[in-house]
Structure 1
Amino acid sequence: MKTIFLFLFLIAGILANNPYPYNSGYPNNNNCVNYQYEPSAQDMNHQNQPIYRGGQTPTEILVNSNSNFAFKFFGLVSSNGGHWDQSGKKNIVFSPTCISSAFAMLALGARANTLDQILRGLEFRPSEIKERVIHEGFHDLIYALNNGRSGLKMDMGNCLFVKNKLHPQQQFLNGLRNIYGGDIFMENFKNTVETEQHINSYVERKTQGKISKFVDGIDPLTEILLVSYFYMKAKWKIPFDPKYTQQRDFYVDPHTVVKVPMMFQIGMFETGHDDERSCTILKLPYEGNVVAYFILPDRGQLEKVASSLSCRALQTWKRTLSKSFVNVYLPKFMASGELKLKDFMYRIGIVDVFTDRADLSGITGQPQHRLSGAIHKAMMMIDERGTEAAAASSMDMVPMSVPSILTFDRPFITMIVDEITHSILFMAEILNPTEK
């Protein structure tokens, strides 16, 4: 039985609120032409999106399932030791949107039970949601996130590196290009040095120079390599002023205390305490209709909070958080992480794709192919930088009453949510802000 070594690398780019220099990159001579995807002719809503049963657009159907997948996956990673190494527990950082889009794109080439497992694992219900609607939803979501907004830059996409003697099915290539906006490159994987340089250069450009060496060692037997990336750069709507950042204690656990640069500002922020889940929530807006939820578990309640996160919790917070004057102390940090997805995908029912039972015949026309590995790398940076004038003026507000104090000086959870599409872009569990 022939096996294609199909390595699936997923990148969840950079989340940052400071401006970075632009990297113009370079042209690629072996890049295939992309085509514009056009949805099927149907009744359209006022945003020119097709409407399906229940009055939902493909994006709305997609986001509901993506959110369920995000919380399920976070619970698995947080509880299953997925962020352990030889030194102990590690920070968790990942993009659920990036992971789900890559496996949905893989579903274009999956058939039979392999396809069913992928869709169900991503929290879609194949008996209720047509596969075409799922792919249209991803197309519309990628377009919405990449469309550009004031003060915000997002770049989400996919790329396929294919052995130069292999001929993928045209239908799969059309879907990759037209639905997911994917780039396609023909490679000689036996020339490992040149291939690694090409892949790393591509990733570096797509992440604005922030991930410079993504792969280090390519198996010369590789025939297909799939890259999915998500880069984000955003500014705080109300920036922190760097002159107020000071070194303060952060309590990693009852026996470990580290010094961290703690940002500070006072202002009107949406906050609240969730008694059911034993945590305090702070909502901070970025420019461009993106928000960050910082979730501070009550002492000793981190595992309870991590396992109780859900769509219902997020909807509750959206209704119940209220604005009040708050002194906010938030660590400045850069966290990165790598997850080997195979074990987690097994746990959610995506099994066959990694075994000899896989049917990925939609990629090459032959069923005897499997996915040999799936890796997700992510990086998140939080700091105080933003518009200098806004930062200066933000400290001039004088509350009429004594503000409450909210200090993130122990492990916490954060989520980055796009308020236009309601997509969860990033999730992180920060156990130690000094960990790189």
Structure 2
Amino acid sequence: MKMLFFLCLLLAGINSKSYCYDPNYQGMRNQNQRGQDNRNMPWQSVRNSVCQFACCFYKEISSQEKNGNVFFSPLSISTAFAMLTLGARSDTLTQILRVLSFNPREISENEIHEGYRQLMEMVNRKNTGLQLKMGNVLFVLDRLKPQEKFLNDLRNFYEGEAYPMNFKNAVQAQQKINQYVAERTNGKIKDLVNNLDPLTEILLISYIYFNAEWEKPFDPKYTKMAKFFVDGNKAVEVPMMFGMGLFKHGYDEQLSSTVVQMDYKGGASAFFILPDRGRMRKLEKRLSCERMSRWRTLVTKSSSVNLYLPKFTLYGTYDLKETLYKMGIMDLFTDKADLSGITGKPQHRISQAIHKAVIKVDETGTEAAAATGMEIVPMSVPVTINFNRPFLIAITLESNILFMGKIVNPLKKD
């Protein structure tokens, strides 16, 4: 099986009203204060907040895309907005941190940034069989001069870069930005920016690239065309992979869902969650970090399985402005925005926010990888698990959620 994830988050703007966070949030406290009950390392606290944000963002997106595929990187989106808090002030800062699920009574701003620094260090660590690269870049109108402290914090906490850009020459600026993104995603995202506004002042891009080999690849000769039931009545013909052997799996009775864990070389894992027929809404409504954590315990033991999983390529593209406005970020893309920590002046705002993610799933893991033979498991009666209807997917690395999505129609790429 081959799985490639390429993702790029382009930011330069946003607005809000429904909330998926603590309504009693009172804003960030003193930078040096530390919550008495917070005994986690900063990266653990950030990891937990990213998970909470992932569930909230997923529910918001899936409510908009009721019958469509969903795919995004909560880690990339969260990191990009955390970067913005380096320069955000007043209500703009409060709203961003609240939507990112940070509780001011438990963690300070310094600890948040240090937590992201530790996470990025972990993500960018070199692993055999796993290519994973995450990074951030800020394009700033060439006549604006970012504050030195902001630039230093951007570099030290987020490995971020800042480039001056002549946005008034929009065609040339767009070409340079797209070339930058394409180079850092191995050419998988080539035209991220379209119709760039020549009045743009600040453009923030966060990208993540993932390419991994399965520990147990599928053999392509067993891949056959089969029906995938998009809904109760409609079915499409998809290339369905087949694997027989020991797989980690379990059944979540409270969510009426079967969970299968498949591991990659290098330490990453994919969780495929198949709700019983008619139970997708129940699964989505009750989706939470606590439930996802329980899945790890649920699938600790391997047993013999006949596994059917479709091949698919999925592109998730989202204008984040409307979604994050509904989640609670109201000022960032309006005249109320206060990003004075970036330029020293409060009147600059973000004008656009685009998030793009790509996932490709097939048998092997990389183009050059050769499929192995089936794993023979004697003396056992295998369970059949057939992902022939809509299911969820979560990609993790050391319990960090890299990607999250829902496959409703494997043939529909957009």
When the two structures are superposed, what TM-score results if normalisation uses the length of structure 1? 0.84
The aligned residue for residue 280 of structure 2 is 302
Q: Is the 8 A contact 2:274 2:387 kept in 1?
A: yes
Q: Is the 8 A contact 2:38 2:106 kept in 1?
A: no
The aligned residue for residue 312 of structure 2 is 333
RMSD over aligned Cα atoms: 2.2
The aligned residue for residue 138 of structure 2 is 160
Tell me whether 1:105 sits opposite 2:98 in the alignment: no
Tell me whether 1:178 sits opposite 2:156 in the alignment: yes
One-letter code aligned to 2:346: P
Q: Is the 8 A contact 2:135 2:208 kept in 1?
A: yes
One-letter code aligned to 1:428: G
Tell me whether 1:209 sits opposite 2:187 in the alignment: yes
Tell me whether 1:358 sits opposite 2:344 in the alignment: no
The aligned residue for residue 24 of structure 2 is none
Task: Please point out which of 376, 384, 394 is paired with 1:405.
Answer: 384
Tell me how far 1:173 sits from its aligned partner.
1.3
Tell me how far 1:348 sits from its aligned partner.
2.2
Tell me whether 1:431 sits opposite 2:408 in the alignment: yes
Describe how 1:112-131 pairs up with structure 2 within 5 A: 112-131=90-109
**Residues 341-368 of structure 1 deviation map (CA, whole Å, 9 limit, x = unaligned):** 1222122221121222221111111112
Distance 1:16 1:104, change over 3 A: farther
Tell me how far 1:318 sits from its aligned partner.
1.2
Q: Is the 8 A contact 1:280 1:297 kept in 2?
A: yes
One-letter code aligned to 2:84: L
* Percent identity of paired positions between Structure 1 and Structure 2: 49
Determine the C-alpha separation between the residues in 2 that align with 1:52 and 1:386: 45
Tell me how far 1:156 sits from its aligned partner.
0.5
Tell me how far 1:161 sits from its aligned partner.
1.0
Q: Is the 8 A contact 2:123 2:133 kept in 1?
A: yes
One-letter code aligned to 1:356: D
Determine the C-alpha separation between the residues in 2 that align with 1:369 and 1:19: 33
| SS of residue matched to 1:327 | strand
Describe how 1:185-264 pairs up with structure 2 within 5 A: 185-264=163-242
Q: Is the 8 A contact 1:325 1:399 kept in 2?
A: no
Q: Is the 8 A contact 2:139 2:202 kept in 1?
A: yes
Tell me how far 1:175 sits from its aligned partner.
1.4
Describe how 1:36-115 pairs up with structure 2 within 5 A: 54-79=38-63, 81=64, 83=65, 89-115=67-93
| SS of residue matched to 1:370 | coil
Q: Is the 8 A contact 2:38 2:107 kept in 1?
A: no
One-letter code aligned to 2:128: S
Q: Is the 8 A contact 1:16 1:380 kept in 2?
A: no
Determine the C-alpha separation between the residues in 2 that align with 1:16 and 1:111: 43
Tell me how far 1:77 sits from its aligned partner.
1.1
Aligned length: 385
| SS of residue matched to 1:215 | coil
The aligned residue for residue 8 of structure 1 is none
Q: Is the 8 A contact 1:135 1:179 kept in 2?
A: yes
Q: Which runs of 5+ in 1 are unaligned?
A: 1-14, 21-41, 43-50
Describe how 1:259-298 pairs up with structure 2 within 5 A: 259-298=237-276
Tell me how far 1:391 sits from its aligned partner.
3.4
Determine the C-alpha separation between the residues in 1 that align with 2:201 and 2:375: 59
Tell me whether 1:370 sits opposite 2:356 in the alignment: no
| SS of residue matched to 1:253 | coil
Distance 1:302 1:283, change over 3 A: same
Q: Which runs of 5+ in 2 are unaligned?
A: 7-31
| SS of residue matched to 2:228 | strand
Tell me how far 1:254 sits from its aligned partner.
2.2
Determine the C-alpha separation between the residues in 2 that align with 1:200 and 1:65: 30
Determine the C-alpha separation between the residues in 1 that align with 2:79 and 2:248: 31
Q: Is the 8 A contact 1:250 1:257 kept in 2?
A: yes
One-letter code aligned to 1:56: N
